[in-house]
Chains A and B, each alone.
Chain A
Amino acid sequence: MSSPEKWTHPGPDAAPATAAKPTAEQVMAGLRATDEGGADLVQLLTPEGERVQHPDFDIDITAEELRGLYRDMVLVRRVDREANALQRKGQLGIWVPLLGQEAAQIGAGRAMRPEDMAFPSYREHGIAWTRGVKPTELLGIFRGTDNGTWDPVATRFHPYTIVIGNQVLNAAGYAMGQKFDGKVGDADGEATICFFGDGATSQGDVHEGFVWAAVYDAPLVFFCQNNQWAISEPTERQSRLPLYQRARGYGFPGIRVDGNDVLATLAVTRWALEECRQGNGPILIEAFTYRMDAHTTSDDPSRYRLSDELELWKLKDPIERVKVHLVKQQWADQAFFDSLEAEAEQIAIELRDYCVNLPDPPAGRIFSEVYAEANPALEAQRDEFLAYHAGFAGGEH
């Protein structure tokens, strides 16, 4: 692992990091998101589908396990594309695509044990999948019928957090609780993993989360998906330093993994969670990946990034490289791929049917569960509104 000492400040002749719109030369020179991730990138499966060795991280993977990871990624991508289409058809108000980040999320999610806790941001549909949250349970947030219906206690998957970075402190507190509960210190220990993006690393809450987790030795894996873009702003707008190198300043390890490599992500995250269980947390993982679609369905990336960049990242697709490897190893035959495609289609149909039939919540839901204990004033306001609302029965407005 390299240290920040090896890193040197770009000279005065370097291209300005503040350029709102990069030139083609900047992109092609690797100054922008087309960067390969640098010498410290942990990679176990190349974009060409070749298994490579890494001195610190390796993984024994069976054909069945790799087929499982491949299946996860394919299904999650299908869910993502279907939900994106549902937004285009007006069935969802908005969608937050994960396209391109399947390996980062499936690798991290499958590294977790059931008793570990996850704190997502709002693009973690792949993590949700690995926690047993049904894809249909994500839809209400984006259709506007609810704020997420999964049980965060049973799934150990916290509600989506939309305010950037808030969940990092919540995760630090939860991990402190795991430690206070005596659940840290051996292989049976518990750990917490927290997801956020490159943009979030500029938020105070993320820095405070680093400080708190460090001083309380909390069993917390900070999992930063650096997808290169915070809506329209490139990572250079958030940091001079490669993000994983920030960890050193807080006193814990930081590692950059190829976030488009599901094997490397799985290996590194497994290691990090295990370190945390043993009491050696926290740890920062920067998953170097790429947001291949827009920030949300309301966004227009053509206003701020070049299509060259996307074309280059398509060559590093997280799913394609696994398929190549499975085929090359003869670990999967055409029947496997055909049956997976049929399964994906079935999930898409279910998602569609569920979405279009999702009823609007009753008006009284506005008032429900604001408080855990009784609140007569609010109940009176609700009753007054419901009586007013009932006056429109019969469809007259």
Chain B
Amino acid sequence: MAAPTMDRPTADDTGAPAVQTLTVAKALNNGLRASMEANPKVIVMGEDVGKLGGVFRITDGLQKDFGEQRVLDTPLSESGIIGTAVGLAIRGYRPVCEIQFDGFIFPGFDQIVSQVAKLHYRTQGRLKLPMVIRVPFGGGIGAVEHHSESPESYFAHTAGLRVVSCSNPADAYWMIQQAIDCDDPVLFFEPKRRYYEKGEVDTTAAPGPLFRSRTLRTGRDVTVVTYGPMVRTSLEAAAAAEEEGRSLEVVDLRTLSPLDLAPVYESVRRTGRLVVVTEAPSESSISSEIAAKVQQECFYSLQAPVLRVTGFDTPYPPSKLEEEFLPDLDRVLHAVDRSLAW
């Protein structure tokens, strides 16, 4: 880790430097800690999140510092984690639930869709559900079945939920705090294969709004829209394309529900070409939604059909095949070539 320079401002009176180089995992941990310090109603609950600090150590040290009543090692019961969080939220708490792996969220799916998403609507605003459901998602870690999935579209399809995904340490630090502050339930998808990638986090800089996409790289020829673990892949593809004289614009969606596509429309009107990159399969997905909306809003600007680079429409394969399954730099560049050659 790079040594912090001493002339920078400090974030608080603990003497911690305001700008630190952190992993995504540590940034999430610091963000959770900041929220828990700011609001005693924020509680963390999930399997193994206490003493162990979570299987990815995202909650490391929190139970030691905040106690067993604010960091709950729960029964091994995902519907229970979500269902009791609903009751706790009604009681005035702001629960942050950890689902250990993407593929284990489904026992809690009923509670998420039937109660979490609908109680505010059912009661016409009398009950609020300020809860966050953290989900480490995506593949690339050589895991067994159910540990590498990208189930975000199920939740984006459900009215009443908000769905976001961070791609870098600075967003991880701020977005988790903003999600906790949100009065709506938020599904928070964390790119697990990027947990240990580092980046600078400025804990004093005011963050932008949570539900906004962000253009990470400007370009002239093709727009690339992505989120979560595919952001880095797309940025690497853009760097490689530049060497071949092609200029890619890369937009990190950050919010999957509601979608913030204004920067995408603006970009596509300039480039005339769009490639959407996701790990999730393509059928009836976030990428389908983007393609539909862009053709509606940018019909006369498009010089090629919207192309998608995604996981295939299969179950997630055994891990020896995941390199073939997951979009990579070459597949992104291949789609860029096809778009430009249209």
Q: Chain B residues near A153: list those with CB within 8 A.
A: 126-127
Which parts of A136-180 form the interface with B (CB within 8 Å)? 146-149, 151-153, 158-159, 161, 163, 166, 168-178, 180
Least CB distance, A79 to chain B, in whole angstroms: 22
A147-B122, A175-B87 as given contacts; A208 in contact with B75, CB under 8 Å: yes
Q: Chain A residues near B258: list those with CB within 8 A.
A: 375-378
Segment among A87-95, A313-321, A365-373 that sits at the interface with chain B: A365-373
Q: Judging by beta carbons under 8 Å apart, are A373 and B122 in contact?
A: no
Which parts of B236-281 form the interface with A (CB within 8 Å)? 258-259
Which parts of B36-91 form the interface with A (CB within 8 Å)? 43, 69, 74-75, 77, 79-80, 82-91
Q: Chain A residues near B77: list those with CB within 8 A.
A: 208, 211-212
Q: Judging by beta carbons under 8 Å apart, are A166 and B123 in contact?
A: no
Q: Judging by beta carbons under 8 Å apart, are B121 and A173 in contact?
A: no
Distance in angstroms between the alpha carbons of A373 and B120 in the assembled complex: 11
- Is B162 engaged at the interface, CB distance under 8 Å to the other chain? yes
Residues of A in contact, count (CB < 8 Å): 42
B87, B114, B128, B182: which contacts A176 (Cβ < 8 A)?
A: B87
Q: Judging by beta carbons under 8 Å apart, are A174 and B111 in contact?
A: no
B86, B123, B125: which contacts A170 (Cβ < 8 A)?
A: B86
Q: Chain A residues near B182: list those with CB within 8 A.
A: 373
Encoded as 1 (CB less than 8 Å from any B CB) or 0, chain A from 176 to 203 comes to 1110110000000000000000000000
B91, B123, B259: which contacts A159 (Cβ < 8 A)?
A: B123
Chain A contact surface mostly: helix
A159, A169, A181, A372: which contacts B125 (Cβ < 8 A)?
A: A372
Q: Chain A residues near B160: list those with CB within 8 A.
A: 370-371
- Is A391 engaged at the interface, CB distance under 8 Å to the other chain? no
A151, A166, A181, A215: which contacts B111 (Cβ < 8 A)?
A: A166
A148, A163, A170: which contacts B87 (Cβ < 8 A)?
A: A170
Distance in angstroms between the alpha carbons of A170 and B128 in the assembled complex: 14
Residues of B in contact, count (CB < 8 Å): 43
- Is A97 engaged at the interface, CB distance under 8 Å to the other chain? no
What's the count of A-B pairs with C-beta under 8 Å? 130
- Is A126 engaged at the interface, CB distance under 8 Å to the other chain? no
Q: Judging by beta carbons under 8 Å apart, are A173 and B128 in contact?
A: no
- Is A205 engaged at the interface, CB distance under 8 Å to the other chain? yes
Distance in angstroms between the alpha carbons of A372 and B181 in the assembled complex: 12
Q: Judging by beta carbons under 8 Å apart, are B83 and A172 in contact?
A: yes
- Is B215 engaged at the interface, CB distance under 8 Å to the other chain? no
- Is B4 engaged at the interface, CB distance under 8 Å to the other chain? no
Least CB distance, B187 to chain A, in whole angstroms: 14
Least CB distance, B127 to chain A, in whole angstroms: 6
B69, B87, B125: which contacts A172 (Cβ < 8 A)?
A: B87
Least CB distance, B211 to chain A, in whole angstroms: 8
Residue of B nearest to A147 (CB): B122
Least CB distance, B234 to chain A, in whole angstroms: 24
- Is B208 engaged at the interface, CB distance under 8 Å to the other chain? no
What are 26 inter-chain pairs, A to B, with CB distance below 8 A? Answer: A152-B123, A158-B90, A166-B111, A169-B80, A169-B83, A170-B86, A173-B86, A174-B91, A176-B84, A180-B43, A180-B69, A180-B88, A205-B79, A205-B80, A205-B83, A208-B77, A208-B83, A211-B75, A212-B80, A369-B123, A370-B120, A371-B162, A372-B120, A372-B130, A372-B184, A377-B258
Which B residues contact A (CB, under 8 angstroms)?
43, 69, 74-75, 77, 79-80, 82-93, 107, 110-111, 114-115, 119-128, 130, 159-160, 162, 182-184, 258-259
Q: Beyond A147-B123, A180-B43: 14 further Cβ-contacts under 8 Å?
A: A147-B124, A152-B126, A161-B115, A166-B115, A169-B80, A169-B111, A175-B87, A181-B91, A209-B83, A212-B75, A212-B80, A369-B123, A375-B258, A378-B258
